Amino acid sequence: MTVAAIEKIIRLFLDGKKIEIAVGEERGEVTTALEDLERYIEADYAPYRKAVDELWMTYPYLDLEEARRAAELLEPIDRTSWQFVTHFLARAAKEVRTEEDAGFIMWSLMEPLDARTRTENIFEIAFDGMERATQAERYEKVISTYPVLAQRIPPPSFERSEGAIPFSGRMEFCLASLRDLRWLELFLHFHQKKRFARCACCWSYFVPKTKAETKYCYRSFCQEHGAQLMRKRNADADPALAICDDMRHLLSERAIRYEDAPPDRRAELFQIDSVAFGAWSELASGKRKEYLAGKLTAEEFLRAIDTCHVLASYDVTAPKKSGKSVWRQMVERDLDFDPHMEFPACMRLDLGRPDPQWQITTSEELRTKAQKGHQSLKDEYGKK
Ligand SMILES: [Zn+2]
């Protein structure tokens, strides 16, 4: 059997909002596209990916039993993908004799990984920073980023009110790949009111419980620390708040120096003691709150807290809007952008240095570099 002869073994039955997926003769449970995708996007593919990577090392001399063992790892991770791979491995040649045999096995094993990579890219485009958008706007953004997707499924009709399924009656879709299956599910999800959102704190995807804009998922870490880390990020990006923090640091140091100095030397120092600093600190906290609440402009805020006249100017240039991260550009450029391929760990030996040492850059480090300016709060401020 060759890759060219792949038949459409996946069927998706749609009945109202309910879906049922069948792979070959095996049918899955009745669920909704949203529930199925939620389970899918949360599943950890790492053990399976590792096993498939190891098989690639021996390619094209594959052991079919090892390939089957790798496939078994999928069952608890994603049952539909497991059924898909098992179906094709059952049809593989009993012995791997030719490169074509090996190629077919690897194709079967890679399809779940390719589907997952593609789905993650689509999720990022549709749900990252899109909490205020409507479902139709999310769909439009995906299609304008990846026009090829518009050809995969019949064009939708968003003319009906949100929440209406574009197809009526019981329908059956026949699909050849897991990639098309996940896209069809996402497509159906765009017609439902319930939506996915990306947690600003941990960057996982979740289904908000209410219609209100929801920034953080329901994990206890994100609920506890999300808002606080976001305030930290906003403060870091706000020049007026940064000036206020610098001023606090400066005045606190001057107060300590003043109090530590012998009384006869104090006259030549900046005149601030701990009591005066305490009073300033209280004033600055109040003004900072007013500024954050939008009651003061940046200039008014700085003027109000500069009671000790340490600032030369109250002019704050607006923070520059950072452009798209290298990461986001890569995701947008390629629907099948695979970070595992793009950021392989590498070793470098700089012979130009007096004492050359091997330097190892991990794929995680490369990835973080590409995501600079566009990362989860948890990654930005360290996992706790
Ligand atoms: Zn979270």
In a domain, 54, yes or no: yes
Determine, yes or no, domain membership for 63. Answer: yes
Task: Kindly report the backbone phi and psi dihedral angles of residue 361, in degrees, each rounded to the nearest multiple of 5, phi listed first.
Answer: -110, 120
* Cβ–Cβ under 8 Å, residues 82 and 48: no
**pLDDT recorded at residue 213:** 93
How many CB atoms within 10 Å of residue 183? 22
Instruction: Specify whether 142 is located in the same domain as 279.
Output: no
The answer to the question of residue 204 being in a domain is: no
Q: Number of structural domains, the chain? A: 3
Residues 58 and 173 in one domain: yes
Q: Do residues 365 and 248 share a domain?
A: no
CA 348 / ligand 1 centre spacing (Å): 36
pLDDT tens digits in sequence order for the chain, 384 residues long: 444 456 788 999 888 889 999 998 888 899 999 999 999 999 999 999 999 999 999 888 888 899 999 999 999 999 999 999 999 998 876 777 788 888 999 999 999 999 999 999 999 999 998 999 999 999 999 999 998 998 777 544 444 445 556 666 678 888 889 999 999 999 999 988 899 999 999 999 999 999 999 999 999 999 999 988 888 888 777 788 888 888 888 888 888 888 888 888 877 778 888 888 889 989 998 998 888 888 888 888 888 998 888 787 777 765 555 567 888 888 888 889 898 887 777 777 777 777 777 777 788 888 888 887 778 888 888 754
Q: How far is the CA of 330 from the centre of ligand 1 (A)?
A: 24
In the reported structure, the alpha carbon of residue 293 is separated from the centroid of ligand 1 by a whole-number distance in angstroms of 25
Kindly state whether residues 300 and 171 are assigned to the same domain: no
One domain for residues 161 and 44: yes
Residue 211 lies inside a defined structural domain of this protein: no
Helices 178-189 and 79-91: crossing angle in degrees, nearest 10, is 160
* Domain assignment of residue 203, yes or no: no
197 beta partners: 206
Q: How many angstroms separate the alpha carbon of residue 129 from the centre of ligand 1?
A: 14
| C-alpha to C-alpha distance for 107 and 87, rounded to whole angstroms | 13
Per DSSP, the chain holds a count of helices (H) and strands (E) of 16, 9
From the CA of 80, how far away is ligand 1's center (Å)?
26
d(CA 215, CA 222): 9
The CA 224 to ligand 1 mean position distance, Å, reads 10
In this structure, the answer to whether residues 26 and 137 fall within a common structural domain is yes
Verify that 191 and 86 share a domain, yes or no. Answer: yes
Measured in Å, residue 382 CA sits from the centre of ligand 1 at 14
- Is residue 332 assigned to a domain? yes
* Spacing, Cα 220 to ligand 1 middle (Å): 8
347 and 288: one domain? Answer: no
Between the CA of 203 and the centroid of ligand 1 the distance, in Å, is: 6
For residues 330 and 371, membership in a common domain is answered with yes
The Cα 133–Cα 208 span in angstroms is: 14
> Residue 215 Cα, ligand 1 centroid: separation in angstroms?
9
Give yes or no: residues 267 and 330 share one domain: no
Domain check: are 122 and 19 in the same one?
Answer: yes
Distance CA 20, CA 377 (A): 37
Whole-prediction pTM: 0.74
* Segments forming the whole domain that contains residue 299: 239-305
